[in-house]
Amino acid sequence: MKAIIYCRVSTKDQAENGFSLISQENECEKFADQNGYEVVKKFIERGESAKTQDRTQLKKMIQYAVKHQKKISALIIWKFDRFARNLSDQTELIKNFSSLKIHTLSVTEDNNENATGNLMRNIIGSFAQFENDVKSERTIKGMQQASKEGYWCFHAPVGYKFVKNESGKSILEPTEDCVYIKEAFELAKKGIFTQVEIVHKLKAKGFKKVKSSNHLSRILKNQLYAGLIKVIWFDESFEGKHKPIISKETFYKVQLILNNKSINCVPHINQNPDFPLRGFVRCSECDSKFTGGWSKGRSKKYPYYNCRSKGCSNSIRKEIIEDQFVRLLKELEPDKKVLNLFEKVLNDVWKVQQKENINDTKKLRKEIDALDDKLIRIEELVINGTFDNKTYKRKHQEIDNEKMIKQLQIDEMNIEINDVSKVVSYCKYFLLNLSELWINADITLKQRFQKLIFPKGIIFDGKKVRTAVTNTIFGCLHNINTQKVKMVSRRGVEPLMQE
């Protein structure tokens, strides 16, 4: 009769120092010899937990047993809890080996296939599972308490490492990578870069640990970097003992942008410097977006914009459609007289807006003062015994978060522009040179430029490009032009209608 042996230790320390592993193997070999079994294969599990069946050597043993089931009579283990500490897993494994006609034998326990033997195995398995569950509960309670005290109990994220503090506890400490994490948040806070672009910028500076935009997204949503501990067991966050890499203000500002609560002019178009209008121009016949590509000629390749729709033969040379687009931009360039009048209107609007911002800021500051008063009342309730410490911390955190958001709103409204005339002057230059600026821009600026001016793209009817929707500012200039300067409005160009 032939048999296989399975031995396991539960920690890497046991595996590296040889605790019980050699003795298990020797006892199993001795048991096989005494019962007339020839050992044909040993599977030694070093430092993997028996909580699940997802173990390296266990998987290999199952594969081996299935392949050689006709030659193997028994599986020898030192103890059933070495096999699996979960009773249901243990029962399932024994049943599966039994279906292969392989008898599972324990060196130290009852192997009789009767009611008494089955009862003993179930009792032993139940106690093993009970012990495992108790350890898990203690571990979770310890992690919960540590989280409340401000300690992170999981893997250190990028930008941090674990060190021992004066009390001997593990605490997060920023690494040299923290400068890149801070840079990522600063770029995200601007609201003008896609996450893919931020990843490229970080890699260009030598930071290779952020592999993708999905990885970056997880970083930008991680409160740890702002010095907060957030775990699944609690709704509220706790102030961490570790040093934050970014401020809470920066973190919450980035969350507003990620949740689309802040202005974002980032285009969602695949970049190809040869075809800046790809995915932006639509076909007038089928309303499909144009793609771009190179067509082979007899002696060289020619660039074309093509309709994506099947059965539509709309294919236009690159220079034709881009020349038409530049002409459309030139048509949108306003008269200088119109812009001078617009400047006066803009200054008046600016003054009104500033007054509104001042009033809104006063209102928000009163709301923050009210929240401070609320904090004082909560402290009084704690002193009187109405609130326990846990409730106080939760309420305090909620109010702090609310104050933070209101302060961010104030900061947004109080953006200081020291010289409005310079800003208006640049805007005038931009509007008077739309076509030239687009021609000389790189692919990223071209696409942002296009989205800014034509929010819903443009249409090509086979002869010229046209659009029914432009940015609001061109609608304002159109109105001034019509009402004050008495110039004829341009065909095919209408202002963006506000819903």
Q: Where are the domains of the chain?
A: 2-140, 160-258, 281-333+433-485, 355-417
CA-derived radius of gyration, the chain: 35
Please report the pLDDT score of residue 174 as a whole number.
92
* Whether pLDDT at 124 is above 80: no
Determine the Cα angle at 232 with ends 226 and 235, to 5°.
75
**Which of the four pLDDT bands, split at 50, 70 and 90, describes residue 472?**
low
**Which of the four pLDDT bands, split at 50, 70 and 90, describes residue 28?**
very high
Of 50-59, 180-189, 381-390, the one with minimum mean pLDDT is 50-59
**Which of the four pLDDT bands, split at 50, 70 and 90, describes residue 135?**
low
Of 85-89, 183-187, 450-454, 489-493, the one with minimum mean pLDDT is 489-493
Q: Which of 138, 165, 170, 137 is nearest to 153 (CA)?
A: 170
Average pLDDT (425-438) is: 81
Candidate ranges 149-158, 347-356, 483-492; pick with highest mean pLDDT? 149-158
Tell me if 450 sits within 8 A of 312, measured CB to CB: no
CATH fold match for the domains 2-140 and 160-258: no
Report which residue type is found at 186: E
Average pLDDT (320-339) is: 82
What does pLDDT average to over the chain? 78
The set of residues, in sequence order, having a beta carbon less than 8 Å from that of 296 and lying 6+ positions away, is 302
* Whether pLDDT at 32 is above 90: yes
**Which of the four pLDDT bands, split at 50, 70 and 90, describes residue 499?**
very low
CA–CA gap between residue 8 and residue 193 (Å, rounded) = 51
* Whether pLDDT at 485 is above 90: no
Please report the pLDDT score of residue 300 as a whole number.
83
More confident residue, 262 or 499: 262
Please report the pLDDT score of residue 50 as a whole number.
46
Give the largest Cα separation in the chain, rounded. 110
* Whether pLDDT at 407 is above 80: no
Of 63-72, 257-266, 356-365, 379-388, the one with minimum mean pLDDT is 257-266
Average pLDDT (389-405) is: 79
Superfamily of domain 2-140, CATH level 4 = Resolvase, N-terminal catalytic domain (3.40.50.1390)
* Whether pLDDT at 270 is above 60: no
Rounded (10°) CA dihedral 490, 496, 498, 499: 110
* Whether pLDDT at 72 is above 70: yes
CATH topology of domain 160-258: Hect, E3 ligase catalytic domain fold (3.90.1750)
